[in-house]
């Protein structure tokens, strides 16, 4: 019978020598890189999306001052939740009462919870579709919803809630941009490092990665590409990525486990 210590050892992901490319924005990319390194992997970080907070406007300031007029407040990502909370703190010494808070996924709900705001999240999954299945978002006649997100984004939540009778206000808090990298950095990653697995947790991340790798058309042919949902997996296949996979969750541990199950340690590094 295995001891607790032995069971903990067995549960530790093994990725010794495996080459992992992380394309998430910062600071999530560096945090995830540490989790992969702890499992023995070699890691490169290449954010293919950077986020830039939008400047405050009089319209946004007025909206935040009237936050108590909303029945439901939804953030699409932990980053959107943190930006929203920073601004709420400026105008509300105590959060408005009677408001229902939601996160698209456990990480976003946790960002609200850390600020003392118990937030709802999907019962199963971490996508917009999963959140829209939440029981309290089914019948919203004349109820006001605030949707905190980026400047551009999927319209599914807004459109679906409006079809259910809600009055939805979109609150754009940041913009996403494709960063520039010099050719020698891209060459080192795609022809020198040659990743065996890539973490690309949005469709935009995947598109920008494809653009950055256009001079190296076969560098990612067989790489495992970790994407957040089946919708993005289909997008990956259409873009020429042959090996997309959707993990069981998007926490750092779940992402590392997903790659470890698919790749395992490199031959010759098993100890």
The secondary structure of residue 229, as a DSSP letter, is S
**In the predicted structure, residue 95 carries a pLDDT above the cut 50:** yes
Alpha-carbon distance of 268 to 270, in angstroms, equals 6
Alpha-carbon distance of 136 to 120, in angstroms, equals 9
Q: Is the pTM above the cut of 0.95?
A: no
Q: Domain limits of the chain?
A: 13-49+179-263, 54-175
User: Residues 115-121: what's their mean pLDDT?
Assistant: 86
Predicted confidence (pLDDT) per residue in 3-36, tens digit: 343 333 335 668 989 999 999 999 899 999 999 9
Predicted confidence (pLDDT) per residue in 119-130, tens digit: 888 877 778 888
Residue reference for tokens 């009677």: 98
The CATH architecture assigned to 54-175 reads 3-Layer(aba) Sandwich (3.40)
CATH of segment(s) 13-49+179-263: 3.40.50.10090
**In the predicted structure, residue 192 carries a pLDDT above the cut 60:** yes
**Displacement of CA 95 from its chain's centroid (Å):** 26
End-to-end CA distance of the chain: 23
Alpha-carbon distance of 226 to 166, in angstroms, equals 34
């Amino acid at each position: 019978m295995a001891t607790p210590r032995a069971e903990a050892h067995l549960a530790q992901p093994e990725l010794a020598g495996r080459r992992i490319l992380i394309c998430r924005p910062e600071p999530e990319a560096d945090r995830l890189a540490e989790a992969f390194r702890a499992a023995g992997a070699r890691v490169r970080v290449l954010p293919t999306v950077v986020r830039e907070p939008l400047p405050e406007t009089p319209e946004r300031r007025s909206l935040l001052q009237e936050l108590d007029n909303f029945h439901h407040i939804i953030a699409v990502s932990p980053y959107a939740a943190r930006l929203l909370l920073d601004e709420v703190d400026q105008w509300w010494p105590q959060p408005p009462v009677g408001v229902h808070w939601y996160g698209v996924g456990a990480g976003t709900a946790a960002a609200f919870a850390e600020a003392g705001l118990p937030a709802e999240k999907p019962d199963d999954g971490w996508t917009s579709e999963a959140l829209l299945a939440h029981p309290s978002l089914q019948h919203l006649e004349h109820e006001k919803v605030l949707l905190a997100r980026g400047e551009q984004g999927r319209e599914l939540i807004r459109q679906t809630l409006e079809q259910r009778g809600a009055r939805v206000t979109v609150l754009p808090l940041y913009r996403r941009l494709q960063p520039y990298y010099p050719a020698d950095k891209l060459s080192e990653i795609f022809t020198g490092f040659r990743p065996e697995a890539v973490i690309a947790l949005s469709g935009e991340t995947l598109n920008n990665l494809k653009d950055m790798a256009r001079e190296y058309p076969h560098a990612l042919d067989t790489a495992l590409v970790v994407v957040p949902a089946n919708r993005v997996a289909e997008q990956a296949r259409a873009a020429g990525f042959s090996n997309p996979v959707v993990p069981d969750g998007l926490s750092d541990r779940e992402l590392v486990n997903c790659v470890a199950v698919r790749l395992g340690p490199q031959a010759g590094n098993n100890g």
